[in-house]
């Protein structure tokens, strides 16, 4: 959740490259994108997905996602403490990991991936219950990562409903 404190803390490329946790939590720098870092971070998931899906079995992809989530908890915790803002809007590793999960279960094709992107951004921004509850009450790295996994779950549910009505 972006707060007014986010605007007092202005990370730079120097900050992003100052520690591996910052580089990762800021989505390789995509979190510095002005105005919509969450959208930029979500877009970063596409090339990562295309590379991993081509090279990993489904089982290894899931293992990689679990690993990315766990490392994200650490990286977002470290970066949040360094910035003094638990969930700075520029920390987008949570969007990347959650959207990788969405893409893994999304049918192939431009329509489905575009719909998945739009739905995920909607749920990540609007934060319907219980996402908003967890966003407000869970702090630290786990809190940063978890609400986006819930947004991914909502996205996948809606995609499944749309798919069942169209096909």
The tens digit of pLDDT for each residue in 48-86 reads 999 999 999 999 999 999 999 999 999 999 999 999 998
Is the pLDDT reported for residue 8 higher than 70?
Answer: no
Instruction: Name the token pair of 71.
Output: 């490392």
Is the pLDDT reported for residue 164 higher than 80?
Answer: yes
Instruction: Name the token pair of 59.
Output: 């089982």
Taking all residues of the chain, what is their mean pLDDT, rounded to a whole number? 94
C-alpha span between 112 and 84 (Å, rounded): 38
Closest to 80 in 3D by CA, of 67, 98, 92: 92
Q: What mean pLDDT comes out for the span 134-146?
A: 94
The per-residue pLDDT for 3 is 52
The CA angle 46-110-40, to the nearest 5 degrees, is: 35
Is the pLDDT reported for residue 7 higher than 80?
Answer: no
Are 24 and 72 in contact, with CB atoms under 8 Å apart? Answer: yes
Q: What mean pLDDT comes out for the span 7-15?
A: 82
Are 6 and 36 in contact, with CB atoms under 8 Å apart? Answer: no
Q: Can you spell out the DSSP letters for 56-112?
A: S-HHHHHHHHHHHHHHHHHHHHHHHHHHT-TT-TT--HHHHHHHHHHHHHSPSSHHH
C-alpha span between 31 and 91 (Å, rounded): 6
Q: What mean pLDDT comes out for the span 113-123?
A: 98
The per-residue pLDDT for 4 is 47
């Amino acid at each position: 959740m972006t707060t007014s404190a986010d605007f007092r803390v202005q990370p730079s490329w120097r900050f992003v490259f100052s520690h591996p946790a910052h580089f990762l939590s800021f989505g390789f720098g995509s979190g510095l994108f002005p105005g919509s870092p969450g959208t930029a971070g979500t877009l970063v998931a596409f090339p990562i997905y295309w590379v991993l899906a081509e090279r990993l079995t489904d089982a290894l992809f899931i293992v990689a996602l679990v690993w990315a989530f766990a490392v994200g908890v650490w990286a977002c915790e470290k970066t949040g403490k360094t910035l003094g803002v638990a969930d700075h809007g520029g920390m987008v590793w949570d969007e990347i990991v959650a959207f990788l999960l969405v893409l893994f279960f999304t049918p192939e094709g431009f329509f489905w991936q575009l719909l998945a992107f739009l739905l995920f951004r909607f749920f990540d921004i609007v934060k319907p219950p219980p996402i908003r509850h967890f966003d407000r009450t869970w702090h630290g790295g786990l809190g940063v990562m978890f609400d986006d996994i819930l947004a991914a779950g909502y996205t996948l549910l809606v995609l499944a409903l749309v798919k069942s009505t169209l096909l």
